[in-house]
Structure 1
Amino acid sequence: MTANDTREARADAVRALEGEFSELFTHVRRLFAENANRLSPGMLPGAYKVFTTIVRRESITLSALAESLHTDKGQLSRTVRELEDLGLVTRTPDPTDGRSSLISATADGLRRLREVRAPRESALSNALDRWDVDDIRELTRLLRALSQSAVPG
């Protein structure tokens, strides 16, 4: 295989991967919209993403959340306030920095999220039911490397 053939094969593979990601992102956007609406009727998918990021991080400052989501701190502050008004998150003083607060999910928010996710989690589990567990772990490892712009090792 020549260097040109290798470049073309890589370009074709990357385009195919991009196409699959496009399909996956469309599916995820639809899922987020459905889950957001089930969590709180009228909730926008962006607010759902903010909430699930807070849940994943367990406790996070607004600045760290904005950095994690690559978003404007002002808009994010309004979204977090909406999540507070819905009883999904709470703010507590940051023990390491008195000027900021830690944002975390409430017990009710976690319960409601579990209820919203339950039907979809079984769908993912069913889709992966016949996959070898090592293949699932490998996909997870490769996606983590890709999301961190790292070379899989």
Structure 2
Amino acid sequence: MDHSPAESGDPRERAIRSVEAEFSEIAQRFHRIITRNAERLSPGLLPGAYKVFTAIVRHGPVKASELVERMTVDKGQLSRLISMLEERGLVARTPDPHDGRAQLLEATPEAKARLEEVRGPRENGLFRELQAWPVEDVERLAALLHSLAQGAPGGPTD
């Protein structure tokens, strides 16, 4: 499959179009991984709920309001996805010790263990592929992606 962008006379524009095309391919690949992992974690689990679950694992215990900000998702939609996760025993709520009115979301120990099984021992193809790269290249890629994410619309600077 040819991922080359339409020809342009400007080298910078061609390079940017090439980056856009590759990001599109990567996004499709990650969507397939997320969909597969959601199904393996809990049959019938929506990919959006899987994303919320992994955000809770990564940042938890966390307030739902923090997830709304982090994930730029609608509060109502997030509430429905959290309910789905709770019904499946993947997430539990606990009182926030610093704010008696608020609750914290945290992945259950069983769900965390199941996630590790789903992801497998380095099952992720990205991990395998980056293992072959020199560590300096991986570090540089991480730094460049971080810079791009910081300046992206809807990112932390907006």
Higher helix proportion: 1
Q: Does 1:125 align with 2:127?
A: yes
In the TM superposition, 1:66-81 aligns within 5 A as 66-81=68-83
With over 3 angstroms needed to count, the CA separation of the structure-2 counterparts of 1:33 and 1:120, relative to structure 1, is: farther
Query: In the alignment, what sits opposite 1:85?
Result: 87
With over 3 angstroms needed to count, the CA separation of the structure-2 counterparts of 1:120 and 1:31, relative to structure 1, is: farther
Gaps of 5+ in 2: 1-8, 153-158
Q: What's the TM-score once normalised by structure 2's chain length?
A: 0.85
1:139 maps to amino acid: L
Q: Does 1:17 align with 2:19?
A: yes
Structure 2 Cα separation of the partners of residues 119 and 32 of structure 1: 16
User: 2:122·2:128 contact (CA, 8 Å) conserved in 1?
Assistant: no
1:118 maps to amino acid: G
Gaps of 5+ in 1: 1-6
1:138 maps to amino acid: R
Structure 2 Cα separation of the partners of residues 72 and 130 of structure 1: 39
Q: What's the TM-score once normalised by structure 1's chain length?
A: 0.88
Report the count of equivalent residues: 144
1:11 maps to amino acid: E
Structure 1 Cα separation of the partners of residues 124 and 76 of structure 2: 36
1:146 to 137, 145, 148: 148
SS at match of 1:66: helix
Query: In the alignment, what sits opposite 1:137?
Result: 139
Give the RMSD, CA atoms, in angstroms. 1.6
The answer to which of 19-28 and 125-134 deviates more is 125-134
1:57 to 56, 59, 64: 59
Kindly state the Cα deviation for residue 119 of structure 1 after the two structures are TM-superposed. Answer: 5.6
Query: In the alignment, what sits opposite 1:4?
Result: none
1:38 to 24, 37, 40: 40
SS at match of 2:101: strand
SS at match of 1:121: coil
